[in-house]
Amino acid sequence: MPKLFSLPSRPLRRAVFLIAALIAGAHQLAYAQASYPERPIKLIVPFAAGGTGDVVGRLIASHLGDALGQTVFVENKGGAGSIIGTELGAKAEPNGYTLVMSNGAAITTGPLLGQKVGYRPLEDFSHLVLLGTFPNGLVVRVDHPAKSFREFVSLAAKANGKFNYGSAGIGSAGFMVGELLKQKANIQLTHVPYKGTAPAMIDLLGGQLDALFNNLGVAAVQVKAGKVRILAVSGPKRLPDFPDVPTMDSVVPGAVGEAWFGVSAPVGMPSAVVDKLVSALMKIVATEEFKARLSERGLTPIGAGPADFLRFIKDEEQKWGPVIKIGNIKLG
């Protein structure tokens, strides 16, 4: 009697089962990506609570949560010049549920200075969107003999190192801008490091410092109080809130340097998740409300996507690498 059917060979059955499993897995992955996010997202802010980085981080978390229809909460992980929190972000599961506020100290200048980091700044991150950049202001007391930036440079050249300036420490944005100014203007300034610009501002007002490189959003409070003057800004153009303050570059060509904030994530996230996050972040930065809130903190909104963000980081490495080498700058 002839057989009505015969079972496939064992190798063929295995192949069929494997194909079926792959198809099922692909459907599950597609569903997971389409439904992302299904639970709260963590944004690691590698700074202590209360500072500019924290304020910007909470602002982006609030807007991103609204855009994605899911809670985005901030986890402050400060320390080691923002290295600790950034490393936690790099080593997180690449599923879109852990993001990190990236910045120049952790991604560019820190590693260039030889700071030990447990990640590769370019290879271990998916750098999503560059939020904004912010210049430092060269701040002096109202009774300082230099009444303009040009005069400050002239007096500093004659002082031959007797002028000093404060910053939030070696490797900070203010420190790097100060070193850049010294090299471009060929002047000597003595650096005084602090554990933040708040104690440096106290010493500036007390007469222990000649100058301070500080975030303009913070310095503006003392400007309004009539205690300090901003002689110049380190960005490429004048700022709307300080239209009478010149750029350093207008007096010392090439003296342009800014800090920055972005949103990054561990490399290896599904492309659909990356696209969804990038799209949401780009729309947020483009809103007038968000731009205004950044400007209040002294930031210039940028909104650069992954390709431009990565190019920006590489340009920053090319910019600060020679400054560190020429200045023989080392941590500690």
- 104 with 197, same domain? no
- 49 with 194, same domain? no
- 210 with 281, same domain? no
Q: What is the pLDDT of residue 27?
A: 42
Q: Which helix H or strand E contains 42, and what residues bound it?
A: strand 41-45
- 200 with 221, same domain? yes
User: Residue 107: is it exposed, middle or buried by C-beta count within 10 angstroms (0-12/13-18/19+)?
Assistant: buried
- C-alpha–C-alpha distance, residues 45 and 53, integer Å: 7
- C-alpha–C-alpha distance, residues 302 and 129, integer Å: 9
Q: Does 193 fall in a domain?
A: yes
Task: Choose one of 233, 250, 267: the last residue of a domain.
Answer: 250
Q: Does 1 fall in a domain?
A: no
Beta-strand runs (E) in 199-273: 211-215, 228-233, 258-266
Q: Does 27 fall in a domain?
A: no
Q: What is the pLDDT of residue 5?
A: 46
Q: Is the pLDDT of residue 195 over 60?
A: yes
First to last CA, the chain: 90
Express each pLDDT in 232-267 by its tens digit: 999 999 988 889 999 999 999 999 999 999 999 999
CATH of the domain at 122: 3.40.190.150
Express each pLDDT in 144-162 by its tens digit: 999 999 999 999 999 988 9
Express each pLDDT in 9-30 by its tens digit: 655 555 545 554 455 444 444 4
- 127 with 264, same domain? yes
CATH of the domain at 194: 3.40.190.10
CA-closest candidate to residue 262, choices 37, 45, 41, 40: 45
Q: How far is CA 8 from the centre of its chain?
A: 59
Across the chain, what does the average pLDDT equal? Answer: 89
Q: Does 29 fall in a domain?
A: no
Q: What is the pLDDT of residue 109?
A: 92
Extract the tokens encoding 8: 């496939």
- 129 with 265, same domain? yes
Task: Choose one of 218, 250, 282: the last residue of a domain.
Answer: 250
- 300 with 272, same domain? yes
Q: Which domain holds residue 67?
A: 41-134+259-326
Global pTM value: 0.82
Q: Does 28 fall in a domain?
A: no
- 290 with 213, same domain? no
- 143 with 130, same domain? no
Give the pLDDT band (50/70/90) at residue 1: very low
Q: Does 26 fall in a domain?
A: no
Cα dist. 92→9, 99, 246, 301 in Å? 44, 9, 43, 27
Q: Is the pLDDT of residue 33 over 70?
A: no
CA-closest candidate to residue 94, choices 271, 263, 303: 271
Q: What is the pLDDT of residue 21?
A: 46
- 280 with 311, same domain? yes
Express each pLDDT in 216-235 by its tens digit: 877 888 888 999 999 999 99
Q: Does 292 fall in a domain?
A: yes
- Percentage of the residues of the chain whose pLDDT score is greater than 70: 89
- 164 with 202, same domain? yes
Q: Does 209 fall in a domain?
A: yes
What is the count of structural domains for the chain? 2
Q: Is the pLDDT of residue 81 over 70?
A: yes
Task: Choose one of 250, 274, 293: the last residue of a domain.
Answer: 250
- 173 with 280, same domain? no
